[in-house]
Amino acid sequence: MSKVIKNGTVVTADLTYKADVLVEGGKIVEIGPDLAGDETLDATGCYVMPGGIDPHTHLEMPFMGTYSSDDFESGTRAALAGGTTMVVDFALPSPGQGLLDALQMWDNKSTRAHCDYSFHMAITWWSEQVFNEMEAVVRDRGITTFKHFMAYKGALMVNDDELYASFQRCAELGAIPMVHAENGDVVAELSAKLLAAGNNGPEGHAYSRPPQVEGEATNRAIMIADMAGVPLYVVHVSCEDSHEAIRRARMQGKRVWGEPLIQHLTLDESEYFDKDWDHAARRVMSPPFRNKMHQDSLWNGLQSGSLSCVATDHCAFSTDQKRYGVGDFTKIPNGTGGLEDRIPMLWTYGVGTGRLTPNEFVAATSTNSAKILNCYPRKGAILVGADADILVLDPEKTKTISAATQQSAIDYNVFEGKEVKGLPRFVLTRGRVAVMDGEMQPEEGHGQFVKREPSGAVNKALSSWKELTAPRPVERSGIPATGV
Ligand SMILES: NC(=O)NCCC(=O)O
Ligand SMILES: [Zn+2]
Ligand SMILES: [Zn+2]
């Protein structure tokens, strides 16, 4: 049965035009004027865009002695409610666990997904087994991105030698390394010092992770990626220090992508100084929220193109879980939600204020991720042959964000009370209407895994250049005898 989205304005990363969009068999089959289908979705006054891609989520993540509360069921339901039609989550081996073994666990969790999804693989320890299994992860499983934590010392953190080894392996496999860039050693020392001085509240979390620790780690990761001859994706860029490193690297011709989060773009550090412990602890995440100067830097990066994709790092813990850290901020599970709010918040605070054009918005919420992660134009596009993952956004529709009406399983929302303008009228996931006139009609298990190909053009270009400029011995005719 075909569906036609009629009378809307198609907005992609590079074009804006009036057209109807015909969908059949889960794909876009025709784009043009006066199309007809078995079912009509009226998009009058709306923008017809590629569905959002959130390149960074943690659903049912084992972390800090608990599991994040949104799983693939509630998490992807929240995603669809907010116009996101694909999430990319992280398979996270425990130290000592094989990559394929961990992947099996994430395969099991994700069977309940309402929308399509893919995985990044985390490198949380290093060994010959990890080295060997990386090949199967890329070639057999279609997972071409490997995440490295430079923070969370004693848990997920890897050291520079492990980073270098893994980045080199990524280069060989045509994969892309990603980093959580914070200097974990310094964070651990600062945290201990703060606790010893009686700073045990949630504000201690922000004090323990100043922008400098992020800037230093970002510079270090960029250097290591350059030495290994591989591109680099920096997750949750929260401050000018890190953005500056990325900007400089890009100006030097390095292939480095930066991902700001909607939380860092719209919420600031004052949240941690709230008198209500719960309020502050609910907003504890790494890196922490920053001040206005850093926020402006992130917006500037999106405008100028030095930052590429807006994500959420959705990792939602309930208030009860956050309370594990009463009396010791280092025990507050790190993470916040945002899947349902990313698109309305970015539209409101980005397009609504003139900081972003609608085309830049589509690039940041969908197309850039699809291109970097090598699933474009199947995802991130309104093109014939693309998956019919479509957001029909009504720019006049408003709501006040509230935990009382959200899909997420947790009991609060960090954007509580924000007025947003620009909400989904329809959301299609591979042609299935999951949001109909603003009402949810989800289908558990509809989501499918999106396999990705390695060896994008960027990796090829980098390895050609690396080979051309590799150190070579100088050919000499007469070599002097060795002196004694
Ligand atoms: N960001 C955060 O605080 N929690 C999720 C895990 C991570 O991405 O660091
Ligand atoms: Zn992180
Ligand atoms: Zn994360």
Superfamily of domain 51-383+394-419+452-462: Metal-dependent hydrolases (3.20.20.140)
Ligand at shortest distance from the CA of 322: 1
The whole-angstrom separation of Cα 186 and Cα 192 is: 10
The whole-angstrom separation of Cα 216 and Cα 208 is: 14
Ligand 1 close to Cβ of residue 228 (< 6 A): no
Ligand 1 close to Cβ of residue 180 (< 6 A): yes
Give per-residue burial for 330-349: e unless 16+ CB within 10 Å, then b.
bebbbbbbbbbbbbbbbbbb
Distance 56 CA to ligand 1 centre (A): 10
- Kindly state the tokens that stand for 85: 């039609």
The pLDDT tens digits of the residues spanning 66-118 come to 999 999 999 999 999 999 999 999 999 998 999 999 999 999 999 999 999 99
Cβ neighbours around 138 below 10 Å, total: 24
User: Quick one: pLDDT band at residue 457, thresholds 50, 70, 90?
Assistant: confident
Q: Nearest-5° angle of CA 324, CA 91, CA 360?
A: 95
Contact assessment for residue 154 and residue 122, using Cβ atoms and an 8 Å cutoff: no
The whole-angstrom separation of Cα 252 and Cα 362 is: 27
Taking alpha carbons only, the member of 273, 284, 401 closest to residue 332 is 284
Q: What is the pLDDT of residue 484?
A: 64
Q: Which amino acid is at 447?
A: G
Ligand 1 close to Cβ of residue 338 (< 6 A): no
Q: What is the pLDDT of residue 95?
A: 86
Taking alpha carbons only, the member of 182, 13, 7, 91 closest to residue 21 is 7
Ligand 1 close to Cβ of residue 286 (< 6 A): yes
- Determine which of 92-96, 270-274, 323-327 has the lowest per-residue pLDDT on average: 92-96
The pLDDT tens digits of the residues spanning 211-253 come to 999 999 999 999 999 999 999 999 999 999 999 999 999 999 9
From atom 1 of ligand 1, which residue's Cα is the shortest distance away?
286
Ligand 1 close to Cβ of residue 336 (< 6 A): no
Ligand 1 close to Cβ of residue 205 (< 6 A): no
The pLDDT tens digits of the residues spanning 162-189 come to 999 999 999 999 999 999 999 999 999 9
From atom 4 of ligand 1, which residue's Cα is the shortest distance away?
335
Ligand 1 close to Cβ of residue 313 (< 6 A): yes
Is the four-CA dihedral 335, 337, 343, 346 of positive or negative sign? negative
Distance 150 CA to ligand 2 centre (A): 9
Packed helices 211-228 and 184-196: angle between N→C axes, nearest 10 degrees: 160
Ligand 1 close to Cβ of residue 6 (< 6 A): no
The whole-angstrom separation of Cα 312 and Cα 289 is: 13
What's the whole-model pTM score? 0.97
Distance 421 CA to ligand 1 centre (A): 28
Distance 433 CA to ligand 3 centre (A): 29
Which residues, at least 6 apart from 399, have a Cβ–Cβ distance to it below 8 Å? 344, 405, 419, 420, 423
Packed helices 160-173 and 128-139: angle between N→C axes, nearest 10 degrees: 30
Taking alpha carbons only, the member of 283, 210, 221 closest to residue 246 is 221
- Whether residue 128 is predicted with pLDDT greater than 80 in this model: the reply is yes
Mean pLDDT for the chain overall: 97
Atom of ligand 1 nearest to the CA of 286: 3
Taking alpha carbons only, the member of 324, 253, 270 closest to residue 69 is 324
Distance 285 CA to ligand 2 centre (A): 8
Distance 43 CA to ligand 1 centre (A): 37
Bridge partners (DSSP) listed for residue 63? 66
Taking alpha carbons only, the member of 155, 148, 170, 263 closest to residue 217 is 148
C-alpha distances in angstroms, 252 versus 142, 240, 247, 255, 417? 31, 18, 9, 9, 42
- Order the strands of the 52-57 sheet from edge to edge: 52-57, 84-91, 116-122, 145-149, 176-180, 232-234, 256-258
The whole-angstrom separation of Cα 442 and Cα 444 is: 6
Ligand 1 close to Cβ of residue 57 (< 6 A): no
From atom 8 of ligand 1, which residue's Cα is the shortest distance away?
313
Distance 335 CA to ligand 1 centre (A): 5
The whole-angstrom separation of Cα 371 and Cα 377 is: 8
The whole-angstrom separation of Cα 278 and Cα 269 is: 15
For residues 326-350, average pLDDT? 98
Distance 9 CA to ligand 1 centre (A): 36
Contact assessment for residue 60 and residue 70, using Cβ atoms and an 8 Å cutoff: yes
Q: How far is CA 223 from the centre of its chain?
A: 22
The pLDDT tens digits of the residues spanning 381-428 come to 999 999 999 999 999 999 999 999 999 999 999 999 999 999 999 999
C-alpha distances in angstroms, 281 versus 29, 251, 469? 48, 38, 50
Distance 477 CA to ligand 3 centre (A): 56
Ligand 1 close to Cβ of residue 368 (< 6 A): no
The whole-angstrom separation of Cα 429 and Cα 437 is: 15
For residues 192-201, average pLDDT? 98
For residues 427-438, average pLDDT? 97
